[in-house]
Each structure stands twice: as structure tokens, then as C-alpha cells.
Structure 1
Amino acid sequence: MMKKYSLFLLTLLVSSLFISCKETSKKQIAETNPYFQKSDTPIQTGGIQMIPIETPKGTFKVWTKRFGNSPKIKVLLLNGGPGATHEYFECFESFLPAEGIEFIYYDQLGCGNSDDPKDVAMWDLPRYVEEVEQVRKALNLDKDNFYLLGHSWGGILAMEYALKYQSNMKGLIISNMMSDAIAYGKYADDVLAKQMDPTALKELRSIESKSDFSNPRYMELLMPHFYEKHILRLPSKDWPEPVQRSFAKMNQSLYVTMQGPSEFGISGKLEKWNREPDLKNITIPTLVIGARYDTMDPKHMEQMSKLVKNGTYLFCPSGSHMAFYDDQEIYFKGLISFLKK
């Protein structure tokens, strides 16, 4: 009986020591690596913060989620579409945390987990610029730590924001977006369209001439002949789950209002947008990312890196519009190098 009792006490002691060591280990990790520290809020939410946004049509809330904690590098991610969600950025979790880089997911108004005012008057570029500024203030981002990464439409928004508020920023990343929407449309017509199967192109143009964009045949043609070649270079059935999940939630009202019916050119409110002449006014460190098979002209994006005052160009030779999936190693190696230099 005494032996059994002694064995019980020994087991209890070992278990207590194991639990104590485990808790101490967690504490030591948090103390030695601030990246894993909890926020200073009384209730931990996994980094999620709902931010009230003041607009001409009232107050709405947008969703953000902080991943990691770095005092010197905080990257706010602006998704594309317009109208997609933060979710297609989830691949960043496989690369940035290992480098101690904090990044922040953010669903713009009308997207994903954020409020949707269901009002096309709200789909307005200057209003979105002010929204980003309100988000920056709420997240306590400043010139000593704040990097803004905009992809596609997010790149347009990032350029506009930088031209007005770059004094609040440490750096800018323009990912897969040209600075001139007119040139973007011309590139689609003069270069990408000519690479398409002529029979498919003829049928696409016929549908477009009738403005019959709700015709299922339109996307049936675009997916294999354009999207799988220039958006993400995989069969669409094999597109990564975060991409499929994000695109399935696309706010079509926002997308069509700003972009037009598809990625094959541009015809929405942004059709005449052009900031190329103003790039010289961006003085903060800027990384421009282009890709060989992108919907955007990689040569134009290389030129953008020369027009800004302090620019760097990253070229993804195997990538398309979503080069952070189809040319990951080049994309993230270049991005991380820029953020840490």
C-alpha cells in the first residue's frame, strides 16, 4: 500500500514539474520573443479589433486582425478586387512570422467581415483613403513602424494613401498594380488579348459587345483562357483554398462599380485613374512588385520603381497577378528583404 502511495506521490510530483516547466517555457518564449506577447487589452481576441469608421453616410465598423507583435515593422495589408477579402493573404502566415514581421489583416468597408453599407455611393476612392487613415490611427501605426502593402486594387488605394499621408508611413509596397488604369486597359487589349485563343477571344468580344456579362459562358471562357494564365497559374480547381474562399465572398456591387465586369481590362469608376505623373512625389522607401504573366505590364511596374524617389523593383519570373502563390519563394524573399533592410 505504501509503495502504491509513494508511486502516486512521485507521479503527481513529476506531473506538477512538467506543467510548471511548460508554463515557465511559455512565459520565457513571450519574454524573450515579444512577437508572441499578448495584447494589453483585458480580453484577448486573437488580435481582432473592430474599428469604427466615420463616413458621410454614418458610422460603420471594419474588421482587422493583428498577427504577431513587432515594434519596428507593422504591415497593413490592402486586398484587391475591389471587393475581395483579407483571406487570400493567409499564405503570408507561412513566411512573415518566422522573420518576426507583424502584419495586419483588414477587410475594407463592404468586404468580408466588415460592415456592408450596400450603397454604391460609398464605393469611392477618396473615401477609402480616409478609411485607411482612420484604421491607421486606431491601430497606432506611425512613421517608425507603418508599412502599407496594397495588392491589385489595394495597390491603387496604397498609392493614393501615400500621396496624401506618406508622412505617417515608414514604407510602401505596391504589389501587382500599374499606376495608370488607361495603360492597364491598353495592355489587356494590345498584349494579353493577342495571346488568347482567337476563337475564345472572338466569343468573349461578342458577349462584351452585348454587355451580356451575366451570361455564364463569359466566365467559362475567361477562366481557362485568362484567369488561369494571368491571375493565378494553376487550374482553377486547384487554386489554394484561401483564394477560393476569398473570391467566393467577392462583393459584386463594389467590384463591378469600381473595376467593371471582369479582370480582362477595366471599365468601372477607375477606368481613367492615372497617378503615374505623381509618383515622383512619393519619397518614402517603396517596393514595386511585378510578375511575368501578370494582368499588369511588368515593364510599367519596373518603371514605377524608378519614378518614385526611393524605389526598388521585385520581378517574379514565374508569377502572375497573385505571385505570392505562384512564385512564392521569389515574392517573399524580396518582400522580407525590403522590410528588414
Structure 2
Amino acid sequence: MPFREYRTWYRVSGDLSGGRPPLVVLHGGPGSTHDYLLPLCALSDAGQPVIHYDQLGNGGSTHLPEKGADFWTVRLFLDELDNLLAGLGVADDYLLFGHSWGGMLGAAHAATRPRGLRGLIIANSPASMLTWREEMVRLRATLPSEVQETLARHEAAGTTGTRAYFDAMRVFFDRYVCLVNPWPREYQASFMEMHNNPTVYYTMNGPTEFHVIGTLRDWSVVELLPSIGVPTLIISGRHDEATPETVRPFQDLIPDSRWEILENSSHLPHLEEPDRFQEVLLAYLASVQGPHPGTRASDAATGS
């Protein structure tokens, strides 16, 4: 899809003309890809159309490695989302699912009270990067001392691209990002895409989840949350790098919100507890738009 002089890649699962608002999926990063969120396509089997897309700079969308920090802004990605909604003809009736950075982006979009937004799902997202950085310090301190020393040494030397640094970082990821071992194929695909093309992630975030030195280091959506006017589902994992301290403002400040913590998950509950995750999502979707055809709630309502 054209966006300014660039292109946004997208895919649709399910029928956009079936009478249900599509669920538009905002991936994390910033600078990741849609791949690790592909399991959400299963919702289309229950009658829920799903739209995935790769945000500009990564995946199937236009890559722009020459662009600097003044180009990669929150406003750029909000404009890209508006362009996608308009281009697909769904701006008058849609739902948003945002994971991690995508949840913050979705909250910023929802706070403008777009007329077609029916509901918002914020999954595994911090509300403030300042709080996120503080919590990363705390979580990092739980790692073995030799791992902490390796991380600090390579960050100081600027050698975060080495195998030794990756191996130390993997200890953190296996505790707080993905509890499934080996990593699921979808997650590996997004991880390697971002590794091979880190422009957006390095510019806006920094070299790792817990070494945030990019342009988003102080970004927050906290002050926007009271303006969100749609029913909002908040999801996090019990062992999530998005700790309760980082997530809590969403529940405290969004007027119509509900928070579900998945007990056996970290940052990727859709991969770690897929059945429970889908159950939570379908229940939320039924609450905002009625039961999906073929679900137990629908069958009960019709006496099937």
C-alpha cells in the first residue's frame, strides 16, 4: 500500500466484508515485524478478520537505512496507521491490537478518539519508557553476576553486536521475553529480521530491551490514557519484562479497562499460553461486538 513515497506491506486474514470490524495488529519493536504475531490469524477461523502489517522500515515495507532520528518519529507511525486504515476502507469500523511498542502506539492513536475505533487491546506494553528503564535495571540485577558483567563490558566498549553479548542477552530473554525453548519459528523470524535490519530499533530504542538509549528513552503515553474512550483489554504475563509497574497506568487511567495477567507467560503469551490467550481475546471481542459465529458463547446464545 502506498504511504507517502514509500510502501506499507500488509496481509488480511478472513473476510473484511463479513460484517465484523477487523482487528488491526500493531507489532512491537519499534522495528520488529508482523511474523511473531501471525498466530493471531487463528482468530479468523472464529469469524474475526485480522489485518497484519509491517511498520515502515522493516519486513515487507520500505527499508530506509539512510534515514536518521529526525525521520523515525512516533508521528510517522501514527500517520502510517491512519493511512493503512483509510487505504483498506476500514477507518469507520475497526479494533486495534498493539503488542509492546505497538500497544503504546495504539494507545496514542486511541487517545485521539478516532470515530471508527470500537475497542483496544494493549498487550505486554509499558505506559512510560522512563518506568520501563527503571524496571529493566531491576530485572537485569536478577541475572547471574557474570552475565551482568558481560553485558556491561560490551555496552561500555560498544561491542553489543558480538556473540558474547548476544549469549548474555539471551539469558535475559529466556527469563522475561519468551519462556518457550526453543524459540517458536514465528518469533525467530521477527528476531532475525530485526537483527538483520536494526535501523529503526537502534534509533528509537537502542541495542537491546534493557539498554534503551534511543529517541524513545523518555517517551510516555500516561498523560494520554484518560482520553481513551473505548473498552480496553490489557494483557501481560506474570514473568513479563513489561512488569506490573510499567503496565498499571493503563488500568488506572483508561476509564473502561480490564487487565488480564497470564500466569505462565512472559512477554509473548500468544506463543507461551496460546489457548488461554485466545480464550481471553475471544471473550473480549464478544463483549465489544457480540459472540463470534461458531464459538461456545454464540452456541449458548442460540440454544445450539
Class of the TM-score when normalised by the shorter of the 2 chains: 0.7 to 0.9
Equivalence for 1:10: none
Residue 89 of structure 2 aligns to which amino acid in structure 1?
Answer: N
Q: Which has the larger radius of gyration?
A: 1
When structure 1 is superposed on structure 2, of 177-186 and 283-292 the one drifting more is 283-292
Equivalence for 2:212: 266
Residue 124 of structure 1 aligns to which amino acid in structure 2?
Answer: T
Residue 80 of structure 2 aligns to which amino acid in structure 1?
Answer: E
CA deviation map 1:64-84 (0-9, x unaligned): 111101422310111112222
**In the alignment, which of 52, 70, 93 is matched to residue 2 of structure 2?**
52
Matched residue SS, 1:164: coil
Equivalence for 1:249: 193
Q: Does 2:25 align with 1:81?
A: no
Identical positions, percent: 26
Deviation of 1:326 after TM superposition, in Å, equals 0.8
Equivalence for 1:72: 20
When structure 1 is superposed on structure 2, of 285-294 and 176-185 the one drifting more is 285-294
> 1: CA distance between counterparts of 2:286 and 2:162?
47
Matched residue SS, 1:227: helix
Matched residue SS, 1:66: strand
CA deviation map 1:214-249 (0-9, x unaligned): 2321111111x20111111123xx211121122211
Q: Does 2:59 align with 1:112?
A: yes
> 2: CA distance between counterparts of 1:262 and 1:312?
30
Normalised to the residue count of structure 1, the TM-score between the two structures is 0.79
> 2: CA distance between counterparts of 1:180 and 1:263?
14
Equivalence for 1:24: none
> 1: CA distance between counterparts of 2:207 and 2:75?
22
Matched residue SS, 2:202: helix
> How many pairs were matched up?
281
Structure 1 segments of 4+ aligned residues over 6 angstroms from their partners: none
Matched residue SS, 2:266: coil
- C-alpha root-mean-square deviation of aligned residues, in Å? 1.6
Equivalence for 2:295: none
> 2: CA distance between counterparts of 1:312 and 1:72?
22
> 2: CA distance between counterparts of 1:260 and 1:71?
42
> 1: CA distance between counterparts of 2:91 and 2:251?
23
Deviation of 1:265 after TM superposition, in Å, equals 4.3
Aligned residues of 2:9 and 2:60 also touching (Cα < 8 A): yes
Query: Any residues of structure 2 matched to 1:297-308 within 5 Å, and which?
Result: 297-308=243-254
**In the alignment, which of 110, 125, 142 is matched to residue 91 of structure 2?**
142
> 2: CA distance between counterparts of 1:334 and 1:240?
21
Matched residue SS, 2:239: coil
> 2: CA distance between counterparts of 1:240 and 1:263?
19
| Bigger relative CO (Cα 8 Å, ≥ 6 apart) | 2
> 2: CA distance between counterparts of 1:332 and 1:258?
31
Residue 232 of structure 1 aligns to which amino acid in structure 2?
Answer: C
Equivalence for 1:189: 137
Deviation of 1:253 after TM superposition, in Å, equals 0.8
> 2: CA distance between counterparts of 1:273 and 1:161?
15
- The structure that is helix-richer by fraction is 1
> 1: CA distance between counterparts of 2:80 and 2:88?
12
When structure 1 is superposed on structure 2, of 307-316 and 155-164 the one drifting more is 155-164
> 2: CA distance between counterparts of 1:282 and 1:198?
42
Unaligned runs of 5+ in 2: 288-304
Residue 256 of structure 1 aligns to which amino acid in structure 2?
Answer: Y
Q: Does 2:173 align with 1:227?
A: yes
Unaligned runs of 5+ in 1: 1-50
CA deviation map 1:299-341 (0-9, x unaligned): 4424412310111111111111111101222222111111121
Residue 192 of structure 2 aligns to which amino acid in structure 1?
Answer: A
CA deviation map 1:2-41 (0-9, x unaligned): xxxxxxxxxxxxxxxxxxxxxxxxxxxxxxxxxxxxxxxx
Aligned residues of 1:259 and 1:267 also touching (Cα < 8 A): yes
> 1: CA distance between counterparts of 2:35 and 2:246?
28
